[in-house]
Chains A and B, each alone.
Chain A
């Protein structure tokens, strides 16, 4: 027999009492994760508990073990051995000597420190000694075993260490397939163009397959740590004219239909490494190949840009956004919500101890408008009943903002708090975070480009809100700088040729004196540019939804939830503010986002919108779509046009003022 570096195994007949255990090799995968290969009695199927022993104390370890794959092949003839993966809750590796204690149903065994030290080796040596001469399937099993026992908890630096160790294992043990070399003369090809880390356990892959010769039957993504996911049946396929053009010289006009693929998939175990993803392809004819994915796209901005950019590839039935993009974006958003927090609070002046209203103003991209708002607030005694919170959603401006806020406070004396977020959170999350810090009974969401027209607006709005039965959201009249209407309530419209409802503003662009725009009444929705809502109610319905991208439809979405909760949304024209609609966002990205937001809103609410819209008379009969009218009786929602006005307006409503 050729000399082998493997330690010799004891060949003992399996007896319950005399089964002894020997540590054949052990290596750290990270500071809390240890891989052991042990030989033991044949009656031991699995180890259940383990402890790490030091002079002063013992630490409980989690155990996952499996029989050595070679055991299965040799059928017990060679004795029994197992792979044992031990994991502590905290770091256990500290350079000191230690012993181990393993228990299984059949008994408990102790490995003393000297034996441990003797069997300890670096990971590569352990793998080489124990596993490299296994058959392909057995090696794959080792990789799978280790990959799936990769834990989710613990210190991020240590998790990374473990991932790197698993990657080493994968690289040493995996069966390498032929690398795909793309060539126009080869009729089979595979390319992965993007791999997006939506979270540690969910990923989004994009690329193309050319399988003209024989259809692909397997497309497997392999994480750097070795987890495998079969993708072929869960991919979105679409046309790639550029790929077709590439292969045209060889395949002529034979179409490589839908060679592009996009897939959003989950992993059983988390993956944390930016490099090392592989995708394998196998065709019906048996050809196999693999290709490497480019480094992971991991930053929120780039992830959103990629996902939203892919919307153009979507099919008629919108499968891509429904099955892949939207769920992925939802996960991105919830990761964000879990991760982002208030990094710093800068407080200026004395805020009222029991404010009637908390005003929340998000600042994004520019902070110069804050001064203009503060100047107007300085002259208004109403603001003394309010808590004013500015939340900065552009962390790069934090130094500038805090300096400015301090100087503005010294000059104007308006008290406020500045919340600095740890990262850009987006409109919904920024508002929600600020709202969670607010103490007022009522909440007023206010854009930074909204300026009051005259004093006393806030108390009039509060009085109106408090006079309503079951109020949801209340929005005032908002004007452009030339006194034309920017907002007089929102309604929904569905042009006949489109399937989706869009947000529309009543009477937008008409003069503020228009009589119809000066009636306080219930409306389907109001804009979040200036939106008053009971704070508890806001939190009860979940605040603004994070599924929307960057400032659109979040307000209608909130209003739908309020409606569904039995509340009514109102428009109050007796309170007027200016909304200067200054651009904070770049317009090209904005259009992409708007389209997505509109789809998501419809996907979530189309039946409710139908119901609500028929409760309100359309403002203009031009685009009414009578074909879509539901069979059931039109809902009688009491749309009271005058309730609340006489009680709260300090002067009578002037329906038409002669100029």
Chain B
């Protein structure tokens, strides 16, 4: 018997690239290929993720580029409260979202993200489809942290271990501790209705357990990736070519990497050796804050000898781009979860140099399949790069330690089974909710 799954995300990659939305799209398309599963994808369209809002009167949905099972959900005219993560006028949920749910009638709703749409999506699924199973993938720490879910403090970009009303107030002085208290209670109340949370890293899973998600309700489940043929490796004497892949925002730490490159330019790796080079493949520089953009431009100016800004890329281009790369650098200054770029590096059998914290340190084992440097520290990064480029046979050794990457095919089978078991077993939350209504 066919099972219908609805995926919900906050953005469609055709509008703007991003990790969570990329995963949502890939998962949906892969699921669609299974004969016993019907998959539908619903993503937010219109501002602020896109530029143009809805075009048809009387409806808040529209198909994506003619795909019959991919939809945009518009929120035109509805204000989003970014603090609590909810649309203020609940009509959005009880009229528009409800109408969509009633039409699609999914057996399982797998929420990838609620940004711009609101946590009450969960409640409305419960209201309209009491029997549907609700799965929720956590991509970063947004339910915990109001700073874009990064858990990095605003005063000095230091990493944050724990959110409390007082600490959050210190990061956002114009918002009272009570505001953060209310935010947490609100989000947790909606989360109670979720049947299962999926965490792409153990690190993130542990964070959320500490925050309050019951252990039995959250499970580790990494991102499944399409396994394409790995990029061949050409024999080289020196492995000096670094690659950065990802959004160009402050949390990704590309400025730390550029500062390290500047240090390296001043003091090349070894005499007579090739210079270490860096190719930056990245997008979204245009939407960043002016000061960050200027700083980055300045750093790029100072490192023209070794750094090339290649620019935007499509996921399909990655294997080809990695052909000319020896090391993939993931210098994020936030905890990260399960960076897609690390999986891509491993798929293409490239060792990773990354910060020594959070999800990065979990996925990359120092000295086994990559190297760690001290988070946010350009000197430490420069030293690590020096070691990476200058130590003979290190690259080959680390390459041998690269693990297999979780495949999308495997994930699809696994999730398919998971959806079935959730859809067929009675759930405590459904029982409780039935009593309340």
Chain A contacts to B: CB under 8 angstroms: 369, 372, 375-376, 378-379, 381, 384, 407-408, 410-413, 449, 451, 481-482, 578, 580-582
Contact = CB atoms under 8 A, between A and B. Distances in A.
A410 B90 contact: yes
B186 A375 contact: yes
A410 B94 contact: yes
A509 to B, nearest CB: 13
B127 A413 contact: yes
7 contacts: A372-B182, A375-B185, A378-B189, A407-B91, A410-B91, A580-B182, A582-B178
B435 A372 contact: no
Interface in B147-200: 164-166, 176-178, 180-182, 185-186, 189-190, 192
B402 to A, nearest CB: 42
A580 B436 contact: no
A323 B212 CA distance: 58
B70 interface: no
B124 interface: yes
A412 B122 CA distance: 12
Given A381-B436, A412-B123, A482 B166 contact: yes
A372 B91 CA distance: 17
A481 B178 contact: yes
B contact face: mostly helix, strand, loop, or mixed: helix
Interface string B401-437: 0000000000000000000000000000000100111
Given A369-B182, A410-B91, A412-B123, 17 more contacts: A375-B189, A376-B189, A379-B189, A379-B192, A379-B432, A381-B432, A384-B436, A407-B90, A407-B91, A408-B90, A411-B90, A411-B93, A449-B178, A451-B182, A482-B177, A580-B182, A582-B176
B89 interface: yes
Contact of A381 (B89, B93, B166, B435): B435
Contact of A481 (B120, B165, B435, B437): B165
Contacts of B190: 375
Contacts of B185: 372, 375-376, 451
A407 B124 CA distance: 12
A369 to B, nearest CB: 8
A591 B159 CA distance: 42
Nearest to A581: B178
B150 to A, nearest CB: 23
B124 A411 contact: yes
Contact of A482 (B89, B120, B164, B437): B164
A580 B127 contact: no
B165 A482 contact: yes
Nearest to B165: A481
A578 B165 CA distance: 13
Given A378-B436, A407-B89, A481 B181 contact: yes
9 shortest interchain CB distances as A-B pairs: A481-B181, A407-B90, A410-B94, A580-B178, A481-B165, A411-B90, A375-B189, A372-B182, A481-B177
A384 B127 CA distance: 17
A411 B182 CA distance: 19
A76 B166 CA distance: 90
Interface residues of B, number: 27
Contacts of A376: 185, 189
Contacts of A412: 123
A410 B93 CA distance: 9
A379 B181 contact: no
A449 B179 CA distance: 11
Interface string B121-159: 001100100000000000000000000000000000000
Contacts of A481: 165, 177-178, 180-181
A411 B189 contact: no
Nearest to A408: B90
A562 B91 CA distance: 45
Contacts of B189: 375-376, 378-379
A542 to B, nearest CB: 33
A608 B90 CA distance: 51
B170 to A, nearest CB: 12
Contacts of B90: 407-408, 410-411
A580 B180 CA distance: 11
Nearest to A411: B90
A579 to B, nearest CB: 10
Interface string B71-89: 0000000000000000001
A57 B437 CA distance: 64
Contacts of A407: 89-91, 94
Contacts of A369: 182
A580 B164 CA distance: 15
A407 B96 CA distance: 13
Contacts of A578: 181
Contacts of A411: 90, 93-94, 120, 123-124, 127
A578 B177 CA distance: 13
Contacts of B180: 481
A99 to B, nearest CB: 67
B357 to A, nearest CB: 25
A372 B186 contact: yes
Nearest to B164: A482
Contacts of B181: 481, 578, 580
A582 B91 CA distance: 27
A259 B161 CA distance: 67
A294 B389 CA distance: 90
A412 B190 CA distance: 11
B437 A413 contact: yes
Contacts of B127: 411, 413
Contacts of B176: 582
Nearest to B124: A411
A352 B177 CA distance: 36
Contacts of B432: 379, 381
Contacts of A451: 182, 185
A379 B192 CA distance: 9
A481 B169 CA distance: 12
B436 A413 contact: yes
B436 A379 contact: yes
A216 B116 CA distance: 74
Contacts of B192: 379
A408 B89 CA distance: 9
A582 B185 CA distance: 16
